[in-house]
Amino acid sequence: MSTGYRFSQKLIHWLMAVFITLDLVVAQKFGGDMELWDRLESRIDHASLNIIVMFLFLLRVHLRRKHGTPPAEANRVAWQDRLSKLTHLAIYGVMASLFATGLITGLNTTAPLPLFGILDISLGQTDANLFVFVRQFHELATQIMIALIALHLASAFYHQLFLRDRVMSRMLRRKS
């Protein structure tokens, strides 16, 4: 019996990690001073990366429902198992809220927002109050996501370096 995730689940996990990291780098630029052209280009990059992440996310959820997760280590304590499940649920919930709030702000922007430089999703007119209101939740969800990613990474390294169990190998090795 396999103790690891399927190759497709691992691939999607690591692709999401790469694209989310790239997106966070792009999104961090928004906090600083930017030329208008750079801001518009960065928004296009941000929105386009998120379409890729959303597709991978939906595929990941589908595969998780279809194949499930490998059984937990037999010696794992109950609180770790509950915290792991709660953290993953929170990551999925916050990610879904980021997609929803990002879409709402993208639709309600006055500047064009062509995904991948092709398809403009902006409505060209905006409800400024709705934009500002939803934008606050998007920024808060981003900060929560960063904290959850940090918790996820810290937990993985804790298992690898201190507990020396097989938790990380379930997502790293080709065959487990």
Instruction: Tell me, letter by letter, the H, E, C secondary structure of 157-172.
Output: HHHHHHHCCCCCHHHH
Between the CA of residue 91 and those of 32, 123, 159, what are the distances in Å?
Answer: 27, 29, 19
In terms of Cβ atoms closer than 10 Å to its own Cβ (0-12, 13-18, 19+), residue 151 is middle
Which residue segments constitute the domains of the chain, with CATH numbers given? Answer: 7-172 (1.20.950.20)
pLDDT in tens, 108-167: 887 888 888 888 888 877 778 888 899 899 999 999 999 999 999 998 888 888 888 877
In 26-125 the beta strands, taken as DSSP E runs, fall at 114-115, 119-120
Tell me the whole-structure pTM to 2 decimals.
0.85
Average pLDDT along the chain: 86
